[in-house]
C-alpha cells in the first residue's frame, strides 16, 4: 500500500465515524464563503485538525472544517476553507482533501474561489464560471502529480483538455438565470502568491488569455480530474486586478465575499438541485 493511499484510508476512517450521509458531491468554499454551508441538514462538522493529513488554514475567511450533510436534497461534503501553497504546504498536501472527497464517494467537485477580475468593465461581486485554467506554478514544476503514481488513484498522464466542460455547465447557467445572477465565463489563472500581482504581471496574464487571477483552485482541479471527478468551478470577483487600478487587499476580498454570499448561495443551491450523479 502506498503512503498516500494509506493516508487517504486513515482520513476516511476518521470522517466516517462522524458522518451521517455518504457524500456524492464535494464543494470547496474559498475566502469568505464558508458560511454557505451553514444551512446543511443532517450535518456533521469535523475540524481539519481532527482529520489525519489535513492542516488548519491560517488565512482569515477560511474556517478549517469539513461539513457533511444534505444541501438542496443532495448529500455533500463541504471543505469550509482550504490550505494554500503559499502557506508553505506542498502541492500534494494542498490537494489531499480532494483525494479524500473522492474516496468518501464524491463523483463531482464544485470548487469556488475569490479572484481578481482582469477586465475593466467587470465589477466587484461578479461571479465567473471557470471555463479553463492556466496553472502557472504547475507549469514551473510545482505540480501535485509529480512523484510516483498510484494507479488506484488515477492514470500517470491524465488529460486536462476540457477539464471544466461537462454536463454540469448547463446546470450552472440555468441556476444563474433562475436566481437573477449574471454569470460571466472565463479563464482562471493561478499564481503562487501570497503577494498580489504587479502591473506587468496583470498585463502578461491578459495577454495569455486569462480573465481572472487567484492563488488556488488549479491544483485541486488537476487532482480531481486525475481521480475521474467532474468539475464545476466558480470565481467570485472580489477585486479588479488592473494595471492602472487600486492596489488589492485581503480585507476587501472578505467584504466582497460577505456581500455576494446570498446570491452565490442561492445559485449554488439551484446548481446542486440539478446535479445527477
Write out the catalytic residue numbers: 31, 62, 84, 86-87, 114, 215-216, 239, 250
d(CA 31, CA 253): 7
Residue among 217, 181, 241 at smallest CA distance from 95: 217
82 marked as binding residue: yes
Q: Which helix or strand (DSSP H or E) is residue 79 part of?
A: strand 74-80
H runs (alpha helix) in the chain: 3-16, 91-104, 136-139, 169-178, 199-208, 218-226, 250-274
114 marked as binding residue: yes
d(CA 81, CA 30): 5
197 marked as binding residue: yes
135 marked as binding residue: no
234 marked as binding residue: no
d(CA 124, CA 239): 5
Residue among 266, 236, 251 at smallest CA distance from 59: 251
84 marked as binding residue: yes
31 marked as binding residue: yes
Binding site, by residue number, is 31, 62, 82-84, 114, 197, 216, 239
Binding site for phosphate, by residue number, is 31, 62, 82-84, 114, 216
Binding site for a purine D-ribonucleoside, by residue number, is 197, 239
Amino acid at each position: 500500500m502506498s503512503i498516500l493511499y494509506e493516508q487517504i484510508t486513515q482520513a476516511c476512517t476518521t470522517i466516517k465515524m462522524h458522518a451521517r450521509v455518504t457524500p456524492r458531491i464535494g464543494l470547496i468554499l474559498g475566502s469568505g464563503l464558508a458560511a454557505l454551508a451553514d444551512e446543511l441538514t443532517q450535518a456533521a462538522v469535523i475540524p481539519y485538525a481532527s482529520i489525519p493529513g489535513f492542516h488548519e488554514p491560517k488565512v482569515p475567511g477560511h474556517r478549517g472544517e469539513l461539513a457533511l450533510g444534505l444541501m438542496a436534497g443532495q448529500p455533500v461534503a463541504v471543505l469550509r476553507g482550504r490550505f494554500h501553497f503559499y502557506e508553505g504546504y506542498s502541492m500534494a498536501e494542498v490537494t489531499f482533501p480532494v483525494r479524500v472527497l473522492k474516496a468518501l464517494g464524491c463523483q463531482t467537485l464544485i470548487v469556488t474561489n475569490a479572484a481578481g477580475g482582469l477586465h475593466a468593465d467587470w465589477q466587484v461581486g461578479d461571479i465567473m464560471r471557470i471555463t479553463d485554467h492556466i496553472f502557472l506554478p504547475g507549469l514551473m514544476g510545482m505540480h501535485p502529480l509529480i512523484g510516483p503514481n498510484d494507479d488506484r488513484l488515477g492514470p500517470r498522464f491524465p488529460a486536462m483538455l476540457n477539464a471544466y466542460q461537462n454536463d454540469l455547465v448547463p446546470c450552472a447557467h440555468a441556476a444563474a438565470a433562475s436566481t437573477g445572477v449574471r454569470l460571466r465565463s472565463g479563464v482562471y489563472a493561478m499564481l503562487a502568491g501570497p503577494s498580489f500581482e504587479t502591473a506587468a504581471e496583470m498585463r502578461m496574464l491578459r495577454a495569455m488569455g486569462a480573465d481572472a487571477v487567484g492563488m488556488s483552485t488549479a491544483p485541486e482541479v488537476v487532482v480531481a480530474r486525475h481521480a475521474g471527478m467532474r468539475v464545476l468551478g466558480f470565481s467570485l470577483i472580489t477585486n479588479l486586478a488592473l494595471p492602472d487600478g487600486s492596489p488589492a487587499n485581503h480585507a476587501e476580498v472578505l467584504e466582497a465575499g460577505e456581500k455576494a454570499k446570498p446570491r452565490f448561495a442561492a445559485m449554488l443551491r439551484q446548481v446542486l438541485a440539478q446535479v445527477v450523479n
